[in-house]
Copies of this chain bind each other. A is one copy, B any other.
Amino acid sequence: MTRPAASAGALRIGILGGGQLGRMMALAAARLGIATRILCPDPKSPAFDVTSDIVVADYEDEAALTRFAEGLDAVTYEFENVPAATAAFLAARVPVRPGTRALAIAQDRLPEKTFLAECGIPTAPFRAVDDRPGLEAALGEIGYPAVLKTRRMGYDGKGQAKIARPEDADAAFAAMKGAPAILEGWVPFSREISVLTVRGLDGSLASFDIPENEHRDHILKYSRVPARLNAGTAAGARAIGETVAAQLDYVGVLAVELFVVEADGRERLVANEIAPRVHNSGHWTETACVVSQFEAHMRAVAGLPIGDLARHSDVVMENLIGDDVARMAAILAEPGASLHLYGKHEVRAGRKMGHVNRIAPRR
């Protein structure tokens, strides 16, 4: 779908999902002269403010999907839980990128972990848990502590329960509410990082510098770049991202969340999960790189060169969650600070309202 250079101004990309990620993808597309059409069921979607072309409809509404797909050069999405039927329906009409395989893998922790293991990428030990006896058997193999997680629809720590000792198992199982689950061994990590990899339509691969991520209440709070990491570990993280992208025949930006485990003075990486989309831990790229993750994603999806992912500044990204946004005036006056607000009018506890990137010269 690579277009003659001069016609890029005529490209139109569809985005499934109207949250802040869709909004930031649309803004990045606009800078490239690429028009966007956004589909989301919520008429108050933040992304709707930044495009003239919207479809308010459920993801399962086939008439709306037909209308949505018409005249688009490609479709992408801001979230991994796009229903498989929706992706398939659209894929019959227009290229869907990153691709349906990445969606299938990332929607379910069991095939996700299995895929990572097949790629030779270390993960926590894991077992599928379909019922209470299955949990018992899995605990017998994996031991304690362990984490029981729903296979689908978990994010920001939702749908997870730690099992530190046998007597925690009943409560953890009940917390799954009968959903298919996966038991994972506890990873004694010292730090969390992620790799943000871009794969072009032509198979070209590149990764941004590695951010070190700090979570509060299971929600990302800070990403710091550069991460405190041995050069070899950073290279290993990039290799993981690029292996995943290549194996999935991926197009666009993906993130792999990684644990850093330290033992005997050495660092070891354990892959936690794959996000087949732009990712919160890559928001710093907007201020500290020439090409942001959002632009790199839209370039790839549009079949254009992915560009230069080099970082010109050191940076710390802080998520503004809930009432954090009340600090806006102070942040606006702060040297080196780039504020990004998502246009959400209602402040709610735990809601991502915006972020701020604070840059400094590279050390």
Contacts and interface: CB of A to CB of B under 8 A. Distances in A.
Interface of A: 5-6, 8-10, 23, 27, 30-35, 48-54, 287, 290-291, 299, 304-305, 307-308, 310, 312-313, 323, 325-330, 332-345, 347, 353-354, 359, 361
Contact of A308 (B290, B304, B337, B353): B337
Given A8-B328, A287-B290, A312-B361, 4 more contacts: A6-B325, A31-B341, A304-B329, A310-B336
B342 A33 contact: yes
Identical copies in the complex: 2
A305 B332 contact: yes
A307 B23 CA distance: 23
A313 to B, nearest CB: 5
Contact of A52 (B30, B48, B287): B48
A283 B22 CA distance: 25
A329 B302 CA distance: 12
A299 B337 CA distance: 14
A323 B353 CA distance: 41
Nearest to A291: B338
A198 B10 CA distance: 34
A178 to B, nearest CB: 39
Given A5-B328, A290-B359, A291-B338, A35 B343 contact: yes
A27 B35 contact: no
Nearest to A295: B338
B8 A338 contact: no
13 contacts: A6-B323, A27-B50, A31-B340, A33-B343, A49-B52, A49-B53, A50-B52, A52-B54, A290-B336, A290-B359, A291-B338, A308-B335, A310-B336
A339 B32 contact: yes
Nearest to A339: B32
B326 A6 contact: yes
B54 A359 contact: no
Contacts of A340: 31-32
Nearest to A31: B340
Nearest 8 A-B pairs (CB), nearest first? A33-B341, A5-B329, A5-B328, A305-B333, A33-B343, A305-B332, A308-B335, A6-B326
Given A8-B341, A9-B343, A336-B310, A305 B329 contact: yes
Given A9-B344, A35-B49, A49-B51, A308 B328 contact: no
